[in-house]
Amino acid sequence: MSFSFDTKTELCRIEPERDCCVKAECYGMLLFARSFSRSGIALVTENRAVARRAAELTVRACGVIADVSAALTRRRNSSYTLGVQTEHQRDEILRRFGYTGREISLRINRSNLENECCHAAFVRGAFLSCGTVTDPHKDYHLEFNVPFMNLAKDLMALLSEDETLNLQPALINRKGAFVVYVKGSEHIADLLAYLGAG
């Protein structure tokens, strides 16, 4: 398994201490998933623990039971998809996080980050959904692969604002996706610790 896979598995073992953090982490996972709209909410991952965590948090935060299905990729790896099947369930999730489903551009709704503790839970959810980190013994690099520019800019701003982290994330466009990344072993170690990785 990769360093990124192992890091995500470790993060999935963290038990959010407060209900507000359950909501914030679930929000981060779903907002940064493959799709987050009235027509579909779907998270795709190679890590079964991430899919199970997303399903568990969706029940706890939204009262919605999401389906998790497994498939083999072309490279013969397992792929897990969390999907919310009915429009009624998708509407409930969107409403819970302050969306109508008709938004032209997805942005982070800060009202879902009720307390300071929620920021780390939200970023942990985003990382579990769309993040990767390389082995620190090689080229240490952490990134979030975000489908929408405004959402990527909002994440970059959120990471920059936290004075305890003192991060200077950057943003690039790679093959139609927007990548928010952090370089430097000290900054990445600080961010992983902030998310709860040991």
Check residue 73 and give its pLDDT: 67
pLDDT at 86 over 90: yes
What's the average model confidence in pLDDT over 140-153?
95
Check residue 39 and give its pLDDT: 92
pTM of the model: 0.95
Count of structural domains within the chain: 1
**Average model confidence (pLDDT) for the chain?**
93
CA distance linking residue 139 with residue 142, whole number of Å: 10
The fraction of the chain above a pLDDT of 70, given in percent, is 98
Domain that holds residue 24: 3-195
Write out pLDDT tens, residues 58-77. 999 999 999 999 987 666 67
Cα 76 from chain centre = 24
What's the average model confidence in pLDDT over 72-97?
89
20: Cβ contacts below 8 Å, ≥ 6 apart? 114, 115, 117, 118
Write out pLDDT tens, residues 122-131. 999 999 999 9
What's the average model confidence in pLDDT over 110-121?
95
CATH number of the domain at 109, please.
Answer: 3.10.28.10
What's the average model confidence in pLDDT over 166-186?
93
DSSP 186: H
pLDDT at 156 over 80: yes
Cβ atoms within 10 A of the Cβ of 145, count?
A: 17
Write out pLDDT tens, residues 2-31. 999 999 999 999 999 899 999 999 999 999
128: Cβ contacts below 8 Å, ≥ 6 apart? 8, 11, 12, 28, 29, 45, 50, 53, 54
